[in-house]
Amino acid sequence: MARTGKPAGRAARRRDARAARDAPLDLDGLRARVARAAIPGPADRAERARRLLSAWIGTAAAHGASLRDIVRGLGNGSAAEQLRGALETEISRNPPPVLRDAACRAGCAFCCILDGPDGGTITEVEARRMHGALAPLAGRPDGRDWHPAACPALDPETRTCRAYDERPGLCRAYLSSDAEACRINAEGGAAPGAGLLSTHPDALAVHGLARAALRGVVRVETFALARLNAAALEGRDVDAALDAARHPPKMLDEALRGLVSSAAAARRR
C-alpha cells in the first residue's frame, strides 16, 4: 500500500538534512548549515543571531580567513565575542535609559553574589582569558572570604572584580538601576531594577547557533564562570580548569531558554 505523502516528506527531509550534514564542509556548506540551524528560545532572537553569524562569516571570508580559522572562531566563542563587542559599541552610541540610569559603581558587588555554584555561562575564549587573569592570584583570599556565595574573582576587601578587563560578556551585560534591589535579590528576594543588556543573550544565541551549525564537525562548548574562576585560583592549569568548569551540552540550551534581557529580574545563566 502506498504511504501517505506526509511521512514520506518527513523522511525525505531527514535524509536531505543527514546528507547535507555529512557532506564535506566548505564555505557554502557552512552557510547552509547556519541557515538551517535551530536554537531554543525566542524566534526573533534566533533570527537576529543567524543574521549576525552569517555577516560574521561573510566578513571573515572577505578578509581572507581560511575555513579552518572561521570554524575555529565559531567553535571557541571568538565569533560570539566579536559580535558582542560590536553590539556593545552600538548600544554605547545611543545608551538606553536602563544604561543611562544604572546605579553600578566600583565596590558595589551584590551582583557578584551568585545564585548557585555555576555562576553563569561563558565561552572557551572567555574561560581562557579569565584563567589567564586569575592564575597569578592563586592562593590569595578571594570573593568567598567576603560572602560564601560570591564569585571567587572578587577582591574580598575592595569588592571589585580582580579580572575586570577580562570579565565575560555575562558580567558586562548585568546592570541595575537600584543597588538596594540587588542586595535584596542577592539575599533571595525578587526586587525589580536589575537586568541584562541584550548583548549577552544575543552573543549566547550566536554561540548556540554556531554549535548547532557545527554539529558533527567540531565540539562547541560552554563553561561555568564560577567553577572556572575557583579552579584558576586553586592553581590548576588551564586545561584542568576547563575540565573542572566544562558544561554538559544541555546547559547552553537551558541558558538560551532562561535568558531575559532589559530590566526584568535577571538571573545569571
Beta strands in 79-126 (DSSP E): 121-122
Is residue 206 a contact residue for ligand SF4 (CB under 6 A)? no
Shortest distance, position 43 Cβ to ligand SF4, whole Å: 29
In angstroms, rounded to a whole number, what is the distance separating the alpha carbons of residues 50 and 165?
Answer: 28
Shortest distance, position 256 Cβ to ligand SF4, whole Å: 20
- Binding string to ligand SF4 for residues 231 to 250, with x set by CB under 6 A, is what? --------------------
Q: Identify which of residues 79 and 263 has a Cβ nearer to ligand SF4 in the complex.
A: 263
* CB contact at 8 A, 47 and 170: no
Contacts 24+ apart (CB under 8 A), 174-178: 174/111, 174/200, 174/266, 174/268, 175/98, 175/99, 175/102, 175/104, 176/102, 176/103, 176/104, 176/111, 177/98, 177/101, 177/102, 177/103, 177/263, 178/103
Shortest distance, position 159 Cβ to ligand SF4, whole Å: 9
Is residue 203 a contact residue for ligand SF4 (CB under 6 A)? no
Q: What angle do CA 112, 117, 119 make, to 5 degrees?
A: 45
Is residue 223 a contact residue for ligand SF4 (CB under 6 A)? no
Is residue 134 a contact residue for ligand SF4 (CB under 6 A)? no
- Applying CB under 6 A, the span of 5-13, 54-62, 149-157, 250-258 interacting with ligand SF4 comes to 149-157
The amino acid that residue 232 corresponds to is A
Q: Identify which of residues 79 and 163 has a Cβ nearer to ligand SF4 in the complex.
A: 163
- Binding string to ligand SF4 for residues 55 to 94, with x set by CB under 6 A, is what? ----------------------------------------
In angstroms, rounded to a whole number, what is the distance separating the alpha carbons of residues 17 and 10?
Answer: 10
Q: Identify which of residues 73 and 119 has a Cβ nearer to ligand SF4 in the complex.
A: 119
The amino acid that residue 150 corresponds to is A
Q: How many residues are present in the chain?
A: 269
Site for ligand SF4 (CB under 6 A): which residue of 86, 103, 244, 251?
103
The count of residues interacting with ligand SF4 (CB under 6 A) is 19
- Applying CB under 6 A, the span of 6-14, 35-43, 72-80, 106-114 interacting with ligand SF4 comes to 106-114
Beta strands in 147-193 (DSSP E): 174-176
* CB contact at 8 A, 82 and 70: no
Site for ligand SF4 (CB under 6 A): which residue of 52, 57, 87, 163?
163
Shortest distance, position 147 Cβ to ligand SF4, whole Å: 11
In angstroms, rounded to a whole number, what is the distance separating the alpha carbons of residues 64 and 255?
Answer: 33
Shortest distance, position 208 Cβ to ligand SF4, whole Å: 21
Shortest distance, position 145 Cβ to ligand SF4, whole Å: 13
**Could you tell me how far CA 123 lies from the centroid of its own chain?**
6
Binding site residues, ligand SF4, CB under 6 A: 103-104, 108, 110-112, 151, 153-154, 161, 163, 167, 171, 174-176, 179, 182, 194
